[in-house]
Structure 1
């Protein structure tokens, strides 16, 4: 049941056909340059400028920010149903977050980009009461990859790398995801080690998370 719910809600999270906020109705809303989620759980300053071609697309539970240069960010906020609450209480937070990433997030990546896999993951016990950060490689899964000209032999797809940060607040599970654009846009000059890639993604994810403003009081 929850897998069907997740698949429905995640539709368009990492879509190729993102639409501008100026031409598409949002489930949430823009208050100046701040996006307010449709759930009413959080708001966040937009990391893209629509005046410079930045795009914002959302559903009831997911918002995606992107541009053509170096930004592809998504923030999901899903209410936990009784089954998910039971999974967390039974597994413990660390194993629950890993389970959620593997069974829902990575499964969705694999459905659209076969061969996607977890490169590594680690638990951050002190961050937002306990958070998981996972790094995944997605063959052909980059928003920034140039398409081959008509008639030309298609280039071998680059394995896009995305960092994903998961945590639970107020019986909602948050899933923040960022693509490491430089892996694709810099191509021949790209020389970051795996450790440096992870460090860059972790810094960007935690910075994004710290910009979230939660709009509901913590439940007792």
Structure 2
């Protein structure tokens, strides 16, 4: 008899069916209760986690707290097995992945970015109960891990603690909340494409290592006047080398280092370019045979420039998978720079 038999082998049921959203939340509640009691559940913390899921996009955090409280009551009155059965019966094929992801995110060690060994039996049984095969389960785990990594590695320039909201999208063009630019979405949802945005930054990523990010900052009028009489190259270099890279990358990755810098004038675009070597600093990871998840090595290229009344920093990464050998710094710098410039050419500034 396993310690989770009361969950996964239960015959108990509840009278009323759950909604799809409640079913996803129920998996998170069941996972939390698997090794604890209802008195130990922090409904607000659980709701803040669930609020990041697209399925709860139309819900306020207060509404999700109410859902969590109701599900805890069901587990207390009817049993955690009954709650799991109700959830698994409701989850559609499309939402099974969300349900499993809700379980994973509850158990993931946010610092080590692994599911603790003692929790592995539970997550394996959850996978089997939701009828996910091994490859599907690992894909979900890697997506959750990558999301944690990206949040850790890509702090805003001002070191704000706002959460990057993961957006689903059906339009082909992304528009900045400030209305200062639009850009065709460069990733495909069918390949795990995601948009993560908040005012001042938007990132596009997918399961194949793509990362394209636009940071943008309004420049005060008085500062723009000063730039007319000062060296623009020195200004852009100071922003990039003295502030952005140290704050957004180096303080989170002590082994990272700037390997290449240059200033270029390309038509109307005057830009400062930097290449950063980031050992174990990619936004994606790989899982070893023993189950340990390790971040990939990567190079990050960044271009800073001024357009109208905004400072822009556009960046991209190149991750190195097993067997990948970097070219020379000069070649890597040139290739990544060209890919960023091609992306910049797709941006329409308004």
| TM-score normalised by structure 1 residue count | 0.76
- 1:7 corresponds in structure 2 to 158
Contact 1:87 1:96 in 2 (8 A): no
Structure with the bigger percentage of helix = 2
CA contact (8 A) 1:64 1:73 kept: yes
Q: 1:168 aligns with which of 296, 301, 306?
A: 306
Aligned CA distance change for structure 1 residues 52 and 159 (closer, same or farther; 3 Å):
closer
Alpha-carbon contact 2:326-2:332 (below 8 Å) kept = no
Is the Cα contact below 8 Å between 2:286 and 2:296 reproduced in 1?
Answer: no
From the superposition, tell whether residues 88 and 136 of structure 1 become closer, same or farther in structure 2 (CA, over 3 Å): farther
Q: Tell me which residue corresponds to 2:171.
A: 32
| Deviation at residue 88 of structure 1 after TM alignment | 3.9
Runs of 4+ in 1 over 3 A off after TM superposition: 8-13, 81-91, 147-152
- 8 Å Cα contact 1:77-1:173 kept in structure 2: yes
Q: Deviations over 1:32-61 (max 9, x none)?
A: 211001111101011101233100010101
Could you tell me which residue of structure 1 aligns to residue 239 of structure 2? Answer: 100
TM-score (norm. length: structure 2): 0.50
1:99 aligned counterpart, secondary structure: helix
Contact 2:175–2:181 (8 Å) recurs in 1:
yes
Unmatched 5+ residue regions in structure 1? 23-29, 216-220
How far did residue 150 of structure 1 move? 5.8
* Cα distance in 2 between the residues matched to 1:76 and 1:47: 16
Q: CA deviation at 1:158?
A: 5.2
Distance in structure 2 (CA, Å) of the matches to 1:33 and 1:45:
6
In structure 2, stretches of 5+ residues that fail to align are: 1-155
Query: 1:179 matched to which residue of 2?
Result: 317
Higher relative contact order (CA 8 A, sep 6+): 1
Query: Is 1:145 aligned to residue 296 of structure 2?
Result: no
Question: Which structure has greater strand proportion?
Answer: 1
